[in-house]
Amino acid sequence: MSDSKNDIVLEMTDIHKSFEKLEVLNGINLQVRKGEVVAIIGPSGGGKSTLLRCATTLERVDYGKIVIGGDVLCDTISGRLSYCDKKTEKEIRSKFGLVFQNFNLFPHFSVKRNITEALIHVHKKSKAEAETICNNLLMKMGLIEKADEYPCNLSGGQQQRVSIARALATNPEIIFFDEPTSALDPELTKGVLTVIKDLAKEKMTMVIVTHEMSFARDVADRIVFMDGGVIVEEGPAYDLVTNPQQQRTKEFLAGY
């Protein structure tokens, strides 16, 4: 892995974000290189999800700079924050995928349409092309026989795998996972984690907010521990889990 600037897929610099008076992100710096898997861990309310939501355009930051796949989403120059225009934002949205904690599949669409709809109507692919992409992904997820089912007829684990397929369909440069297994029981969790593990082997760039500590240790290249709106500690996954340096990190990991 080289350190060249071109290899950086996500760059968040000095990100600040508050809701009302509550400071949720208090100067976050995060860089993710191509092919890197970064796990974000930390207690609830520590700002992990908000950070992800800011990176995925679902929340606006108050201060800082975000660059995704070379495009500047927002920048703060001499104290003034400005966001890119709508066209660039749309461009940026095609560069990442987001997997939600509670899937957010479209219940009135079949599995197949959940995956192909954006390909056809946003990315202007032909129906045949979209279906080829869809079938390949469903095959990979072990869900090819579910293509014509509706989400309500799938288990939570299957739904989450469909939503991963949906996020992968547009061939994004980076995928964000917001606690992808928190809504699943341990047995279903396994299937979803296996899929993410496979993606890591294929060198998919991923940022994963998770509470699955052993998964983070085994799959991530790097772990970021967040609390109180700041990054308390970060480092190579195995080192951080087995030998945390900060007192706060030690306390948190002791709970697992």
Partner 1 sequence: MSKIKIVSLIFRFYISILRGTPLMLQLFLVYFGPYYLFKVNTGSIAIGPFNYRFIATIIAFSLNYAAYFAEIFRGGIQSMSKGQYEAATVLGFSKIQTYFKIILPQVVKRVLPSVSNEIITLVKDTSLAQVISVTEMFTRASAAASAQVSVVPFIAAGAFYYLTNLLIEAILNRVEKSMSYYS
Does residue 1 belong to the site contacting partner 1 (CB under 8 A)?
no
Per-residue interface string for the shown chain with partner 1, residues 192-231, x marking contact by CB under 8 A: ----------------------------------------
Q: How does DSSP classify residue 123? A: S
Does residue 60 belong to the site contacting partner 1 (CB under 8 A)?
no
Q: If we measure between CA atoms, which residue out of 228, 218, 246 comes closest to residue 37?
A: 218
Sheet strand arrangement including 22-33:
22-33, 8-19, 63-68, 71-77, 80-83
Per-residue interface string for the shown chain with partner 1, residues 82-101, x marking contact by CB under 8 A: --------x--xx-xxx-x-
End-to-end alpha-carbon separation of the chain, Å? Answer: 31
State the DSSP H helix or E strand holding residue 177, giving kind and residue range, or none if neither.
Answer: strand 174-178
CB distance 57 to 227 below 8 Å: no
CB distance 74 to 29 below 8 Å: no
Does residue 123 belong to the site contacting partner 1 (CB under 8 A)?
yes
Q: Which is nearer to partner 1, 90 or 127 (CB)?
A: 90
Does residue 152 belong to the site contacting partner 1 (CB under 8 A)?
yes
The least distance separating partner 1 from the CB of residue 229, rounded to whole angstroms, comes to 22
Q: Which residues contact partner 1 by CB under 8 A?
A: 56-58, 90, 93-94, 96-98, 100, 102, 104-108, 117-118, 121-123, 150-152, 166, 170
